[in-house]
A and B are shown apart, each in its own frame.
Chain A
């Protein structure tokens, strides 16, 4: 049976359109709990039909932000607009948002059916329509034969589906997902991620998902907001976040990366685009093709992803920049690729990943080998923050 690989991502980027009206707008939101500032003067726009992720470590304020949209918390300062309407003071039971809770929060004394029907009954929907909608939802999450079970008679994955069906049953304008897949094992999680994308596409809803799992955010989102300590560090598409992080924090939070601290020795932007920046990092010269605001002498970081670093036992032709010589200190075999950790004479470590394109019997490069790490001038980037 052919499995759905999810819809082909359509060209969708309302955030680049200056005419587009945001569906949800957080405007200078601050939320304080006593002395603790959970969210600090945050402004964020989310567009209709967007699959938006709030990503960050625990305690960064992402869940608080979502709970303010659901109505469980009121912002200390600022306002939240939903379709242009200020929703301050509107209780949760009158908001057109529905939430899928991290703990699922299924009603233990009700059957799967009754759980899904609960929200519809609150709207005084006619009985026949409720039944039809419940059946539709059960079909959507493939739980038809479990309709009369109680939540404690279901597996974790099934419960998660019930929670999803319950939160989708009312066709909310915005579906809020709080760490929705946290309790699932990796395989099931990946499967569900694609199903979520499928659903979001077919139903045409706006999804806001809170997660600390960067892979999950990368997979499902149109855009990601990376948060730290109550502020947003960067809002961008998954590819931009990965390839062009705007700060050391974002670069380090998403994926694996080598960060080399140094200072700018030369900028050639004066010569015309693309600009070139030269960095000196403890005797290592680095050249990067990048437009950069920084000037000579500025302390910056050079960041490069391990998979963009080549590893070779032979010295490169050009030794003037972008090469790192050292001993293979450790090798992480990860199945699909191997991660080499190379240690220079002065003790600095740098990581290089290599796809295992053939079955590994004898490693051409192994522990203790002296190797050269090289990278092209457009592979890494300069971080000023």
Chain B
């Protein structure tokens, strides 16, 4: 055996047998294929089908590979055309983007000072502060949103508080619940950790002597923030904004529970099409357009990450 090993130097053995390395590469791809590409193709196919009163509620269905050519010929873009015909859908998309954009801006305005304060705090208490940011995750997301109903509803805790401290008469009530304001409150509250953590990560690794150098060169602290701190935290700003913006656009639970009848969001529209109208093909088309819309910001994000590395 020894002679075999000598004549065939095991070049590929540097990191263990070659099949284990192959496995490491393949596992994520298999995962993506099974849980992203395959479901997406199914949705894409449904979005090109026609509605039917059947089980499942669309045509054509998959009847084995023999009929596949016949099935494909029945597919068309009818649902996509319908999406552009009815202004409801375009309004939903635009409204979602608007709410996501405003929420992301609010999150930045609230999250940045928090992250900065955390990063500048004594290093001994920083882990505790990070812990406190993560702490809400220990309770179910749904329960936290329901809690906001209890706070914001007209006879809720907020009204009670304002009445108790005398800012509001006993016959007045807070009119926030079931408005866009309630949606913004719910979104900002729920997504704040996702904004704070990337910002904190970017700010925490910043070298403080850079600010000393700026000061030494004649730059007062408020100016140094815009010249040094903010530009250096941009990767965190972009990461946090993307991580918040993308899921907020498709958000369903918060507008459904806190928003009013006129709060238009694509997640809600999709839910109505799917469960209310049982129009799976149209709902699928809505989902595909949403996905395409969100791929653009993700691509920007990826591009930015590459630049940083």
A194 is an interface residue with CB less than 8 A from chain B: no
Binds A, one of B58-66, B141-149, B211-219: B211-219
Q: Give complex CA distance A201, B218 in Å.
A: 25
Determine whether the beta carbon of A91 is less than 8 Å from that of B215. yes
Contact of B220 among A91, A98, A105 (CB under 8 A): A91
Q: Among residues 220 to 255 in chain B, which have CB atoms less than 8 Å away from a CB atom of chain A?
A: 220, 223, 227-228, 231-232
- Whether B217 lies near A166 (C-beta < 8 A) is yes
Contact between B232 and A108, CB atoms less than 8 A apart: yes
Kindly identify which residue among B209, B219, B223 contacts A103, using a CB–CB cutoff of 8 Å. B209
Given known contacts A108-B232, A109-B231, is B215 in contact with A101 (CB within 8 Å)? no
CA distance A119 to B219 in the complex (A): 7
Q: How large is the interface on B (under 10, 10 to 19, 20 to 34, 35 or more residues)?
A: 10 to 19
> CB-nearest residue of chain A relative to B234?
A109
Within 8 A of B (CB), among A133-176: 166-167, 170
Q: Is the CB of B216 within 8 A of A93?
A: yes
Interface readout for A326-364 with B: 1 if CB under 8 Å, 0 if not?
Answer: 000000000000000000000000000000000000000
Of A72, A99, A106, A118, the contact of B219 (CB 8 Å cutoff): A118
How many Å lie between the Cα of A99 and that of B216 in the bound state? 7
CB distance from A62 to the nearest CB of B (A): 17
Given contacts A98-B217, A170-B218, contact A92 B212 (CB under 8 A): yes
Complex interface: chain B residues within 8 A of A109 (CB)? 231-232
Contact indicator B216/A70 (Cβ below 8 Å): yes
Instruction: Enumerate chain A residues within 8 angstroms of B289, measured Cβ to Cβ.
Output: none
B210 interfacial by beta-carbon distance below 8 Å: yes
Determine the interface band of chain A, counting residues with CB < 8 A from chain B: 20 to 34
A-side contacts of B232, CB under 8 Å: 108-109
Contact B209 A122 (CB under 8 A): no
Q: What B residues does A94 contact at CB under 8 A?
A: 218
Q: Does B207 make an interface contact (CB < 8 A)?
A: yes
Closest approach, in angstroms, between the C-beta of A64 and any C-beta of chain B? Answer: 14
Q: Flag whether A123 is at the interface (Cβ < 8 A).
A: yes
Q: Collect the chain B residues with CB atoms within 8 Å of residue A118's CB.
A: 214, 217, 219, 227
- B210: A residues at CB distance < 8 A: 105, 107-108
Evaluate whether A98 and B216 lie within 8 angstroms (CB atoms) in the complex, with A105-B209, A105-B210, A107-B228 already known.
Answer: yes
A97 beta carbon closer than 8 Å to chain B: yes
- In angstroms, how far is the closest chain A Cβ from the Cβ of B92? 39
Residues of A within 8 Å of B215, CB to CB, are 71-72, 91-93
User: Which residues does chain A contribute within 8 Å of B228, judged by CB atoms?
Assistant: 107
Which residues of chain B have C-beta atoms less than 8 A from A105's C-beta? Answer: 207, 209-210, 212-213
Query: Which residues of B are interface residues toward A (Cβ below 8 A)?
Result: 207, 209-210, 212-220, 223, 227-228, 231-232
Please name the 3 residue pairs, one residue from A and one from B, whose CB atoms are nearest each other, closest first: A119-B217, A122-B218, A105-B213
Give me the interface of A with B, judged by CB distance under 8 Å: 70-72, 91-95, 97-99, 101, 103, 105-109, 118-119, 122-123, 166-167, 170
Given contacts A101-B213, A108-B210, 5 further A-B contacts (CB under 8 A): A71-B215, A103-B207, A105-B209, A106-B213, A166-B217
- List, sorted by A's number, 20 A–B pairs whose CB atoms are closer than 8 Å: A71-B215, A71-B216, A72-B216, A92-B212, A92-B215, A92-B216, A93-B216, A93-B217, A99-B213, A99-B216, A101-B209, A101-B213, A106-B213, A107-B210, A107-B214, A108-B232, A118-B217, A119-B217, A122-B223, A166-B217
